[in-house]
Structure 1
């Protein structure tokens, strides 16, 4: 069966084989008619896709004849492409069985390499995240030290999460309008960990999952690696088309739907309250789980912070909703504290799944989280004011240096979803790196390939002077002229 990303699942004897379709692969590659030598450019493009994770490892590539037809080139060219991929270690073949993606010895996927590699001097706009103020961290560490000493005399394993932190998160949900008890909370190592656990328990290979388009790339990647079939619903400048969501849930009957209704990543949009009830009712009729990502919910810049999505359900009607949260965007990604709220029985099952790979999170980090959450009422308002100032600096700089670009000012979140007026995002991102700015094309956020090349997500999480300099450098990169075919040497990892 073929999924929306062109991956095919099948196999025998309990094994699952994955492949990328010829049309799907062709859509991600440059036009061979515009490059010389074509085979070398195509091989470089495919190797870059493998490195940055857009094509997974151990995936079967299309037959040479099929790919040649999709690319409108000769089979000889494709044969040369595959030969070069094998020579460089990005593919391997077995007689009569096809060609699979691989990695050369000594290479790591680009995203992992970026996380582990040395820092450089480029202004990094690929990550919508900012750091924790030093004094806030020092104060919290001083506060928790006596409590940490108390925990040293215990085994230290808390697969559900530290009881104090579960209670604090439950109280937070209750204060926001959704009565919650600690038994409904599972503490995780970030929101991505929470999502991975949910996908692993609720879904199996080949299951359909509804996602927004665009959406958070790492969530889409988790679904792809779980071999799920994504079905996308659009999020435009006008927001969500609820009728499309309702009809998709009705017709597709997905196992779950993953939505980011609060200051959506990357658009920054906020789903209206009335629409939330409609989505909840539609999911209830289809029997689908809703996985609601609220990692940005507290970052309300121009409107009140929204209540939890699940609070819009009828009384007793939140049994099919999993709410994911995190401290990465509101505090610091390095803390690695996330959580999910779900029915207590599901939390128990998820904790059982968790211990197979992770016996529990760091007690130190969780104690820090308790202290920081207790001070959120004091620490968050000045942080939001700083974000407003940085957003204003970014929009002013864009208006001055790149007047042809446009955007809608988001009511919250951490970034602008900028329309470049022409499909140049990948080429600009490639050239911008030469000017000391790292940014990702809007295509990275696409649930379906080949779109959002006219978009950039530009975070306003850096100091105002840094943002102004970044815009100045991007304008200079654009003025220099863009390559017809990006070199695809940029990191494919965003936050």
Structure 2
């Protein structure tokens, strides 16, 4: 059984100091829900007894009893007979990861803001047609390319050369998407005794993928303004992780770009502790503003870095191709692990991507960026109009806004929004160890009119959530999981 942490009454009293006392049990319950929701009180923590907390706060026993009842009714706590009251989250700790990994259909009129994946940009159909014309030349072979077709390996390697990172074709391993690439890395490089360090928030599907080999998860909080390298240093020094997952360019979900000094310091830190950086670059081509760009490739600063690339985010989700760029010393090990996944991705898709990378990509990307920029601005404008007290920074790239709510309630909002015809991924979906219930990710990957309508519905749902200040949270709409992309 998982060990639970206990929180003393004195410590909890300090955390809720100054809570609203009109009435006191409501203010205490709200303060506790916010602390649990944003992770300052961890999932599964045993709360102090009602008597001890009553003494520590100097309030009536009834106040604490009623506040704990509100927590239980709203699914932020549970009572265990003979053991006490323990924190939880609405839907349970694993709900986010369960819902992250399995797709389901949405109904008519439902707007999906869970999946941050754009429709295919103009021009893709023509590239597929041209690639199909190339296919007969390859039908005489077996069609198995565990590391990728040589022409595609060379084309991907050339993209790194162009970024100032010399890369040989044999350093490229083609996979069926970036998620598969991450799983290959996790299975090859981190075993059950190894620590795997991930950011929080992070892309939820990557958590499961990187732990394929059984690595033990440790997280580091990502500050709203960027990476706290002092905190990262302390965590790396204490836990000595084998793998460190980092998204330095248009981070998912925050949209942040790591500064050049931070990249250099981070790379030196990991090299000094024999930690392998796993660099997720799935969004690095999605710079939307004229003055925006990805930074120096992390692998140019960290020679041991293993990079993950993707065609699915920057081009189209239906083009299920990703890749690994690995140091020469790790290529054989990763290729062997990749064969455990399958014997190669479809030849036609590889021909499509080869054509794009060797000549047709820039016009496609220009169209994709222009469309995403228009949709981002439409969503930002709608939020300013309908939810002016929500805080967010407009990212210079990527595919989503990361919104800070006035009060904790993202999980409750995702449930209520579903009733209003919008699917949302709340902040806890992106928190590997819980918390972040004051955040929600809003992708701008669909047409602008749909985004504006979605924000209007979300505003209606948020009004319901905030009016339900005390009381039982509404039950989940359905039990079927859906994809967080």
The TM-score range, normalised by the shorter chain, is: 0.7 to 0.9
Which of the residues 414, 431, 436 maps onto 1:446? Answer: 431
Q: Are 2:69 and 1:33 aligned?
A: yes
Contact 2:186–2:212, Cα closer than 8 Å, also in 1:
no
- 2:39 match: none
**Aligned match of 2:207 in 220, 224, 247?**
220
- Whether the 8 Å CA contact 1:237–1:408 is kept in 2: the answer is no
Q: Which of residues 290, 314, 317 in structure 2 aligns to 1:333?
A: 317
Q: CA offsets, 1:122-170, max 9 Å, x none?
A: 100001110113x522211221123211111100000001111111100
Indicate the residue corresponding to 2:182 in structure 1: 195
Q: In the alignment, does 2:382 pair up with 1:346?
A: no
State the shift of 1:236 in Å.
1.7
Describe the superposition over 1:350-404 as per-residue Cα deviations: whole angstroms up to 9, x where unpaired: 1112223301111111111112223121111222122111111111111111111
Post-superposition offset of 1:65? 5.5
Residue 260 (str. 1) matches residue 274 (str. 2): no
* Highest RCO, 1 vs 2 (Cα 8 Å, sep ≥ 6): 2
SS at match of 2:261: helix
- Taking a change above 3 Å as real, the CA distance of residues 114 and 489 of structure 1, as seen in their structure-2 partners, is farther
**Matching residue of 1:132:** 120
What is the distance in 2 between the residues matched to 1:377 and 1:196?
Answer: 29
Task: Return the match for 2:231 from 235, 244, 249.
Answer: 244
Q: CA deviation at 1:326?
A: 0.2
1:468 aligned onto 2:456: no
Residue 271 of structure 2 aligns to a residue in which SS?
helix
TM-score in terms of structure 1 length: 0.77
Gaps of 5+ in 2: 7-41, 47-66
Unaligned runs of 5+ in 1: 7-22, 47-62, 74-89, 91-100, 103-108
Specify the alignment match of 1:86 in structure 2: none
**Aligned residue pair count:** 419
The reply to whether residue 493 of structure 1 matches residue 483 of structure 2 is yes
Residues 455 and 390 of structure 1: CA distance in aligned 2, closer, same or farther (over 3 Å): same
Q: TM-score, normalised by structure 2?
A: 0.79
Contact 2:299 2:305 in 1 (8 A): no
Say which SS state the counterpart of residue 127 (structure 1) adopts. Answer: coil
Deviation of 1:298 after TM superposition, in Å, equals 0.7
> By how many angstroms is 1:32 displaced?
7.3
1:72 and 1:156 mapped to 2: Cα distance?
53
| Contact persistence 1:122–1:437 (CA under 8 A) | yes
Classify the secondary structure of the residue corresponding to 1:283. helix
CA apart distance, 1:333: 1.2
For residues 440 and 45 of structure 1, do their structure 2 counterparts lie closer, same or farther at Cα, with a shift above 3 Å needed?
A: farther
More deviation, 218-227/281-290? 218-227
Matches for 1:396-415 after TM superposition, within 5 Å: 396-415=381-400
Q: What's the offset of the Cα at 1:297?
A: 0.5
